[in-house]
Amino acid sequence: MKIKNLLILLFTLITVGAAAQDGGVKGRAVQRVGRDAIDRVKVTIAPTNKVVYTNAQGDFAIEGLAAGDYRLTFEAPEFETVTLMVKVGETVKDINLVPMSSAMLAVGLGDDYFAEYDTETANDAQVMPSSLSASKDVFNNIAGYQFSQMRFRPRGYDSEMEATYLNGVYFNDALTGYGPWSLWSGLNEATRNHEVAPALGVSDYGVGGIGGVTNINARASQMRKGFRSSVVNANNNYRFRVMVSYASGMLDNGWAYAFSFSTRQGGNDWINGTYYNAYGYFASVEKQLNRCHRFSLTVLGAPTQRGVQNASTQEVYDMVGSNYYNSNWGYQVDKKRNARIRNFHEPIAMLQYFYTPNPTSTLMATASYRFGRNGYSALDWYDGADPRPDYYRYLPSYFERQGDYAKADIVRWAWGSDWGTRQIDWDRLYNNNYGNLTEDSKLAELNGLRRSNYVIEERHTDQRDANFKVQWIKTLRGGHRLNIGLDARYNRTEYYKKMKDLLGGDYWLDVDKYAERDFVGERVMQNNLDYYEANGHAPIVKEGDKYGYDYYAHVRDAKVWGIWNFNTARLEGFVAGEAGYVSQWREGLYRKGSFENNSQGASEKLNFFEYKAKGSLSYKISGANSLTASVAYMQQAPSFQSSFVSPRTRNSVTPNLTAEKVFSADLTYDLHVGGFKARVSGYYTTIEDRSKVISFYDDLQATFTNFAMSNIDSRYAGVEVGFSIPLFKFLNLNGAVSYGDYRYTSNPLITQTADNSAEIVLSGEKVYWKGYHVESTPQTAANLGLSLRTSNNIYAGIDVNYYNALYLSMNPLYRTDKALTGRIFASNTYEENLASVKEMTHQERFDNAFVLNANIGKNWYIVNRKYNLGVSLQVNNLLNNRTIRTGGYEQMRLREDESGTTVKYDRFDSKYFYLMGTTYYLNVYFRF
């Protein structure tokens, strides 16, 4: 009897369950204007992990839903994300048409990020912007479109904390960890389709870091079907951009193909000598063999030539009357020539295979290869005067410090009246080389030839980067999903210098000029000792030859990872883990005279165990709001460039090198009610045991030296707020605030070595950094914006942005005991001593700034809605404020003050970058 009752009960439950299974929702995604169907809209149903896509007619259907409240999110590239709350009963509910508005085109976004503000020191890397992708998250969206103008870095992190995937393959640079965006810059159309996971989120393709995960879907089937073209005219980075793309969509025969081509050309209105001569190409083909098997092949590249800007001191800016002075260029005959050109072409080829044996499982296997060349040119000289116009000895302040005001005035006059003083004097450099005839050389063949004294070198970082990846995604019952993968990476990067231009001379002799100055003898001053021994003389370098240094950086990396997503009525979240090994070593191709036994061949192999653990739990307070707690802990290898004290010259490893430890926690509150959206997050992060190597010319040592810093700890804490409020009908109010406090929390140790001798210049010197601020990003950024969208497809927006607490990048040398020599005296008062110490050690904080930006656009559907024509205009810095500092750095120089009898050191003037005045970006696009 009991058993019978039980069976009946069980049966009832099953039938009830079966009945519940019949619930569902269906509908059609259409364009708000014209009601045309939109295909490939991603429809996510929360709280489940179900994802479906609309078909060519825009239709979607989700079945098997239990009765209850669901949140449907509709996402598609180029369209604004739509979120709907749906009550599902016991039948499939038809929500009919889901109108989606086309998103304002990402004006300006993209290219602005990649206009790196290059500097002459290793600070290069620091000012590399982290990318902020356009995202459905209201905060990230504003930060991406608005804050990027100030080189804002979310949460203060370097770009290596943000994981960037291309078609599911981790693509951050193998050597530096930096974002790889420049590899496809200009290919905005082909890379438009991307997904962004929040700071401590995970993607479907990997565990990611602590700064979010972006995956770019750049495959034939992922590009929106049709032809699109656009022409941009702008004045902030380049004059013109032209882009044409075509995607076939998935054809009936199972093929899909897509290609895209773009070019960016010209300079800008603010900085002389800079320009773009950049192209981008993309081609992808995909074949669906049958229900189970699919292949794709994608090739892309961005051959780019770009003239670069340099920072200068305020003295120089004031003297020339512009904060946009660029010392990198000068007139050659009567044409502007920039000495610092980035010139790269690093194509990527990617082959992928997808195996979908059933609707809940997918196996993905990918092999990708990145190759090509990446050069960055600069002036090099053997002897004689520094050719850079803003070298400190060429400035009035240099003479003023010596009390020679008359000469300072003469210098000022020369800067004001003579292009050869104000900019690089190419004609002089050529004439210098013309006159440098070789006489009485031991090498008879050189007699009568001109030995170049000034040349342009091109520093190469040529990567061979191969990635292999296999992963398995399994959707389980009850809203669970399991994702496991194996990633392997092989990277061999050749670093070398190439002779780009002999500037009118016939040859260059490849010796270490710093070693030569130390009178170490012929042998020791050789950069390439093997050549010297075989030929009896240093290499005679012609244009196109390698010289100076040549080595491989090797990185081998393998890891396994897994992510388990779960989703129940009230809770959703994930647990993720990753573990792997990284091995890195240097392989010198030259035997260098000063390091005969430690420069050629393989260095010791540095092996690091890496792991990551991440977890996140969301509690849905109701369908409209949720609270999410996330935590991550990672241990990761130092970057290759931090692992060796002087990779250009030798195999010596950075002292105290250890793996970095990263901890981060995040608490986020999300609210979605009708059109009202808000997010509030608080975060706390520590990064410990970082290492860093900075290379620079040390005036006190009169030679090229390296700072190897270890045990750098930092802490990042803050809140992020983003909201979007529909005011009425057409008008929307948005806002975002990022308020953070990012600081160094340790006093790192530095070892200073010279490039031309094994002598340790400074050993175990402490850098007093504790309490100083993390540099190069505003720690406070806020936005308030109004946006308008009318029913006839006119868009407009105006944003006011506020930035504060932006700190200058620090020279560690200024915070050492050595730098304080001669600053503290027992006879002085405490206040006097303190003031003197502060003068050396203080960190500059920039003034706060307000920036006003605006945009406007219109879309037309013409000829039976077959064609789409649009115009958009973005104007930044409407108030034309030209005094806003966006970054800069302290020069890696310490000046010996010779005015007193005791040794005392002084700082050099810092160098700054400024936000451009008013800029515009006008985009006209045409699609069908």
Applying CB under 8 A, the residues found at the interface with another protein are 227, 229, 242, 244, 246, 259, 261, 263, 265, 275, 277, 279, 305, 307, 332-335, 337, 341, 383-385, 394, 402-407, 410-411, 413-414, 417-418, 420-421, 425-428, 430-432, 434-436, 440, 453, 504, 516-519, 521
Q: Do 566 and 550 meet the contact criterion of CB atoms below 8 Å apart?
A: no
Q: How far is the CB of 610 from another protein (least distance, A)?
A: 42
Distance from CA of residue 556 to its chain's centroid? 22
Q: How far is the CB of 911 from another protein (least distance, A)?
A: 20
Q: Do 643 and 627 meet the contact criterion of CB atoms below 8 Å apart?
A: no
**CB closer to another protein out of 137 and 425:** 425
Q: How far is the CB of 22 from another protein (least distance, A)?
A: 45
Which tokens in the block code for residue 630? 């996330």
Whole-angstrom distance, CA of residue 169 vs CA of residue 355: 17
**CB closer to another protein out of 173 and 189:** 189
Q: How far is the CB of 391 from another protein (least distance, A)?
A: 11
Burial class of residue 536 (count of CB atoms within 10 Å of its CB; 0-12, 13-18, 19+): exposed
Q: How far is the CB of 659 from another protein (least distance, A)?
A: 41
**CB closer to another protein out of 132 and 271:** 271
**CB closer to another protein out of 401 and 556:** 401
Burial class of residue 78 (count of CB atoms within 10 Å of its CB; 0-12, 13-18, 19+): middle
Q: What Å distances lie between residue 245 and 225, 518, 673, 727, 876, CA to CA?
A: 10, 58, 38, 37, 27
Which tokens in the block code for residue 726? 């529909």
23 SS3 class: strand
Q: How far is the CB of 494 from another protein (least distance, A)?
A: 23
**CB closer to another protein out of 87 and 393:** 393
Whole-angstrom distance, CA of residue 493 vs CA of residue 554: 7
Residue count (the chain): 928
Whole-angstrom distance, CA of residue 813 vs CA of residue 120: 17
Q: How far is the CB of 263 from another protein (least distance, A)?
A: 5
Q: How far is the CB of 707 from another protein (least distance, A)?
A: 24
Query: CA nearest 191: which of 227, 166, 164?
Result: 166
**CB closer to another protein out of 35 and 517:** 517
Q: Do 579 and 610 meet the contact criterion of CB atoms below 8 Å apart?
A: yes
**CB closer to another protein out of 395 and 806:** 395
**CB closer to another protein out of 90 and 400:** 400
**CB closer to another protein out of 143 and 256:** 256
Which tokens in the block code for residue 112? 């602005």
Query: CA nearest 214: which of 166, 262, 264, 173?
Result: 166
Q: How far is the CB of 265 from another protein (least distance, A)?
A: 5
Whole-angstrom distance, CA of residue 790 vs CA of residue 796: 9
**CB closer to another protein out of 542 and 729:** 542
Which tokens in the block code for residue 901? 């009898």
Whole-angstrom distance, CA of residue 820 vs CA of residue 907: 11
Q: How far is the CB of 430 from another protein (least distance, A)?
A: 4
**CB closer to another protein out of 413 and 676:** 413
Q: How far is the CB of 74 from another protein (least distance, A)?
A: 28
DSSP code, position 328: T
Query: CA nearest 60: which of 22, 91, 98?
Result: 98
Q: How far is the CB of 555 from another protein (least distance, A)?
A: 32
- 860 CB neighbour count, 10 Å cutoff: 14
Burial class of residue 145 (count of CB atoms within 10 Å of its CB; 0-12, 13-18, 19+): buried
**CB closer to another protein out of 460 and 614:** 460
Q: Do 265 and 243 meet the contact criterion of CB atoms below 8 Å apart?
A: no
Q: How far is the CB of 79 from another protein (least distance, A)?
A: 22
**CB closer to another protein out of 417 and 597:** 417
User: How far apart are the two ends of the chain, measured CA to CA in Å?
Assistant: 70
User: H helices of 122-269, where?
Assistant: 123-126, 138-145
Q: Which helix (H) or strand (E) holds 144?
A: helix 138-145
